[in-house]
A and B are shown apart, each in its own frame.
Chain A
Amino acid sequence: MVEQASVVRASVVVAVAVLLEAVLGPYLTLGYVSPKFALIGVVFAVSPLRDLQAILLGFFGGILLDSLGSGLFGVGALAGLAAATLASRVGAVQRRGTERVHLAQVVAVSVLAYDLLGWLARTLAGLGSPPFAEYAVAGILPDALLNAALAYLVGGWLLKLVNPKKTTWEST
């Protein structure tokens, strides 16, 4: 039962997710919490792909996010890499029927990594960043939980989108 995954389809999903985050993200930001469409897109799009394809797609998705946003360049790329690596590992070992739950957890960890990287990068660059304890409690944790819930809600639909239908000889 080898599942075919279209790299082109996955790339389109990532690109649309990044565009959504760049355009809609600022309207949906509440304090430190905001929907991370790009990371959700990366996690679900690369999960059926092979390691190298997943990592490359995660990286370039992150680069696109950095280019369309106004934040520090490189943070999105690193976060995309982390998300893609985790998703491809989980995709390689998961059992059928539980993908959505596992990938929602991957989204939570990826958002956690993204927020941490963002905070660290701003601190290293000498830009204003909030105290870590406050940011961890009011920012990172709720952000990770919210995005995991969002990923669980849209995950089924995203998985159907990135996994093309099986050919007839595979089903038999």
Chain B
Amino acid sequence: MGRRKSSAASGLAALCALCVVSLVLFTVYVKEGDCSVQGECGPLHTVQLGAAEVLQPVRGVVGALFSPIRETADRVGHAFDNSEEEQLRVRVRDTEALAAQASRLERENERLRGLLNGQRVAYEYGPLARVVAPVGDQFTERIVINVGTEDRIKDNQPVVVGENTLVGRTTDVSRNTAQVLLLTDRMFAAGVRIVPPAEFDPASDEISSAVTAENVPYGQGMLKTSLEGYLGVDYVNRGLRTEEGDYVVTSGRAGGRDLLDPPGLYVGSVESVTSQDIDQFKKIVVDPAMNANDLEDVRVIVGWAGQEG
């Protein structure tokens, strides 16, 4: 009995001590360098980066195993949904995707020809990166890609699929891996403009000067996933033009300052716009162009024409 009491007492003492240690660890983690600046990586963040690097092969294998299961689940989902309207919508979407892909391939061809001829392109891409696996928890939406500091990848660089469809931004970059904070994550924010379809072609990486110029009448605001869970554009004045079906593209500059993303990256289209007399800003919901479940290969934009620093 005495031994049992002693075990219970030492257990209680250990419980209190370890609770304090846990709280200290939490405080240190929040206060230490989060690796977003070169050379400022705290020990706990370093541990997580190391673990991500070690787990990458396992995650790759599991990702490959889960890929057919996901595809099958998608097919089963489509098979049960046999409404004609939905089928037509899917067909239109597929056709649009094929057209966009054809256009992208054409432009890719032109870009490669341009590279061969020594011409300068708007964006400088890192190597093609494979999506290894999703990571994170119930609060975050992130993926791991198989490029890192050895491929000139740094924190806070935009990640795109195709030529210019924004996926997210790099974070927690280690030697051979990087996490991508998806644009649907609550922590993601970007300066965007809302442009009418006539001014922008999503399949193109060219953007007219009318869209990027300062003081244009198009809606400008901050792209962010709201606490309610929808992707929207905040702080768009009621007086500015914004309509359903308009395209949302990154603005690149705001208030005379460069933002983290280059101008002209395609985010998605406006799904709905509402405004009330008592509100100064519109409520805009965005349908993102990227689908996290369909991502296979992405590219990190490591530089672009006109970038400061």
Residues of chain A whose beta carbon lies under 8 Å from any beta carbon of chain B:
19, 22-27, 29, 31-34, 50-52, 54-56, 59, 62-63, 66-75, 77-78, 81, 85, 88, 118, 121-122, 124-125, 127-131, 134, 139, 143
B55 near A55 with CB under 8 A, answer no
B138 near A33 with CB under 8 A, answer yes
A68 near B51 with CB under 8 A, answer yes
Residues of chain B whose beta carbon lies under 8 Å from any beta carbon of chain A:
7-8, 10-12, 14-15, 18-19, 21-30, 44, 47-48, 51-52, 55, 58-59, 62, 66, 133-140, 142, 172, 179, 186-187, 225, 227-229
A34 near B7 with CB under 8 A, answer no
B51 near A67 with CB under 8 A, answer yes
- B45 to A, closest residue via Cβ: A73
Tell me which residues across on chain B come within 8 A of A88, comparing CB atoms: 11
Asked whether A26 and B135 contact (CB < 8 A) given A70-B179, A73-B26, the answer is yes
Q: B27, B47, B134, B137: which has the most chain A beta carbons within 10 Å? A: B137
User: Could you tell me the distance between the alpha carbons of A17 and B75 in the complex, rounded to whole angstroms?
Assistant: 31
Partner of A50, one of B7, B25, B134, B139: B7
Tell me which residues across on chain B come within 8 A of A29, comparing CB atoms: 137-138
Partner of B137, one of A54, A69, A74: A69
Tell me which residues across on chain B come within 8 A of A134, comparing CB atoms: 228
Partner of B186, one of A74, A118, A125, A128: A128
A77 near B134 with CB under 8 A, answer no
Tell me which residues across on chain B come within 8 A of A85, comparing CB atoms: 11, 15
B18 near A70 with CB under 8 A, answer no
Q: Which 4 A-B pairs have the closest CB atoms?
A: A51-B11, A74-B26, A128-B186, A73-B29
| New A-B pairs, 17, CB < 8 Å, besides A19-B58, A127-B139 | A29-B138, A50-B7, A50-B11, A55-B14, A56-B14, A59-B22, A63-B25, A68-B48, A72-B29, A81-B15, A81-B22, A85-B15, A125-B30, A128-B186, A128-B187, A129-B227, A130-B229
User: Could you tell me the distance between the alpha carbons of A131 and B25 in the complex, rounded to whole angstroms?
Assistant: 26
Tell me which residues across on chain B come within 8 A of A71, comparing CB atoms: 136-137, 139-140
- A24 to B, closest residue via Cβ: B62
Tell me which residues across on chain B come within 8 A of A31, comparing CB atoms: 138
Q: B23, B30, B66, B229: which has the most chain A beta carbons within 10 Å? A: B30
How far, in Å, is B62 (CB) from chain A's closest CB? 5
Q: B18, B228, B229: which has the most chain A beta carbons within 10 Å? A: B18
User: Could you tell me the distance between the alpha carbons of A73 and B23 in the complex, rounded to whole angstroms?
Assistant: 9
- B29 to A, closest residue via Cβ: A73
Asked whether A70 and B227 contact (CB < 8 A) given A77-B21, A128-B187, the answer is no
- A-B pairs with beta carbons under 8 Å apart, 22 shown: A23-B59, A56-B18, A59-B18, A59-B21, A66-B25, A67-B47, A70-B136, A70-B140, A71-B140, A72-B29, A73-B44, A77-B18, A81-B18, A88-B11, A118-B137, A121-B26, A124-B30, A127-B186, A128-B187, A128-B227, A130-B139, A134-B228
